[in-house]
Amino acid sequence: MSDLVFSHLRKEFPGGVVAVEGFTLTVPSPRMVVLVGPSGCGKTTLLRMIAGLETPSSGTIHLGAERLDTRPPRDRDIAMVFQSYALYPHMTVAENLSFGLRVRKVPAATIDEKVRATAKTLELDALLERRPAELSGGQRQRVALGRAIIREPRVFLFDEPLSNLDARLRTEMRTAIRRLYDRLQVTSIYVTHDQVEAMTIGDLLVIMNRGRVHQVGTPEACYRRPVDTFVAAFLGSPSMNMASARVDRGELVFEGGDRSPVPADLASRLDARPDAAVVVGVRPEDVHPAPDRLARPITLSGTLLLREPLGHETLTHLRAGGIEMVSRGAREFAAGADGRTPVFLDGTRLHIFWKDSGWRIDAGEGGIQEPAGVASSA
């Protein structure tokens, strides 16, 4: 198997719009890589450059020793699954699955064998004689997947394939796609703006914004150690709570006036910039109504705003640290008649960023990519 290698890839459209800037990444084979970011961040443009539907303005794409970006799309041996299914409405499921093989003049017996094997893998056996109009959205998407995998390509590309499905079908299909990848073990590039899809499907996340890569890493690493405030805010639902603060004589002073000792592991960095403005981030699951079981609790004075019971947990909206923050957990905050309540942050799980640049103050360590740099996988 061959690694997929991008080197300084750039795409500028007429009018000066830069969709992708300086994209450099090595994808070891096989991997399920998820390109994730808000709409317009360049992820679909990047996918189309891999497929040959867009031509890079500069930079290269290699699959092993073979340069892809100079080859016509038909010669790249890459299969793409589109958001719109792109099925032929007048063909049956079997005919849609076999179309690419028939174009390549594969023997009929081989085609029949591959169609039946693919249909069995995707649980389409009973639907082979139906046409797309007779199928549900989930069934159509499985046919689109089948048409891609039946070719046995070297790389799979997925362009937001689940965005047209309802919530239940999205859950079912992302499980099906992940199981399919685990079975086939073919390098796959998956584009989505849905962070749940990204976190559950990907081995490796590439988090993009405005054409640039902000962070490359495993879903767990990107969630637990976001490189900057963009990644911190983008990953997670509800979003990370982020409060402005300043450094004063070894303490963090929040806008609301609460003070907390600077975390010991970050003291030397913060001491080097006294009076520095920072952003303190904390995930909703690390905001608690009581200090028990917290190794290093940080206490803030808060006001209860709203409770959202979800059955298995409660989302609590509070005013603390100068911001409105959200707590997620099964335990509820006990507020007085005036709505005041103490709020306890897990001091071992704070994320601190420089306010002027947005970078994590320890960016560059532990495999974290600096947002201004070019991202590359290890």
- DSSP string covering 92-148, please? -HHHHHHHHHHHTT--HHHHHHHHHHHHHHTT-GGGTT--GGGS-HHHHHHHHHHHH
Q: Is 357 helix (H, G, I), strand (E, B) or coil?
A: coil
- What residue spans define the domains of the chain? 4-226, 230-354
Spatial distance between the Cα atoms of 115 and 123, rounded to a whole number of angstroms: 12
The per-residue pLDDT of the chain, averaged, comes to 90
When pLDDT is averaged across residues 196-211 and rounded to a whole number, the result is 94
Spatial distance between the Cα atoms of 56 and 6, rounded to a whole number of angstroms: 11
Q: Is 322 left (phi over 0), alpha (psi -120 to 50) or beta?
A: left
Spatial distance between the Cα atoms of 195 and 355, rounded to a whole number of angstroms: 25
Phi, psi of 90 (to 5 degrees): -90, -5
What pLDDT shows up at residue 1?
Answer: 66
When pLDDT is averaged across residues 311-331 and rounded to a whole number, the result is 93
Question: Over the Cα atoms of the chain, what is R_g?
Answer: 24
Spatial distance between the Cα atoms of 237 and 270, rounded to a whole number of angstroms: 29
State the amino acid at position 50 in one-letter form: I
Report pLDDT digits (tens) over 61-77.
999 999 999 999 989 99
With 60 as the cut, is the pLDDT of residue 378 above it? no
Angstrom distances, CA of residue 137 to CA of 132, 187, 189, 223, 271: 9, 25, 22, 31, 57
With 80 as the cut, is the pLDDT of residue 265 above it? no
Spatial distance between the Cα atoms of 347 and 259, rounded to a whole number of angstroms: 12
Report pLDDT digits (tens) over 91-147.
999 999 999 899 889 999 999 999 999 999 888 999 999 999 999 888 998 999 999
What pLDDT shows up at residue 336?
Answer: 86
When pLDDT is averaged across residues 314-342 and rounded to a whole number, the result is 92
With 60 as the cut, is the pLDDT of residue 173 above it? yes
Q: Are strands 277-282 and 314-320 parallel, antiparallel or unpaired?
A: unpaired
Spatial distance between the Cα atoms of 123 and 317, rounded to a whole number of angstroms: 44
When pLDDT is averaged across residues 154-163 and rounded to a whole number, the result is 92
Q: What is the CATH number of domain 230-354?
A: 2.40.50.140
pLDDT band at 248 (very low <50, low <70, confident <90, very high): confident
Q: Class for domain 4-226, per CATH? A: alpha beta
- Given this chain, do its domains 4-226 and 230-354 carry the same CATH topology? no
- DSSP codes, 230-280: HHHHHSSSSPPEEEEEEEETTEEEETTS-EEEPPGGGHHHHHTSTT-EEEE
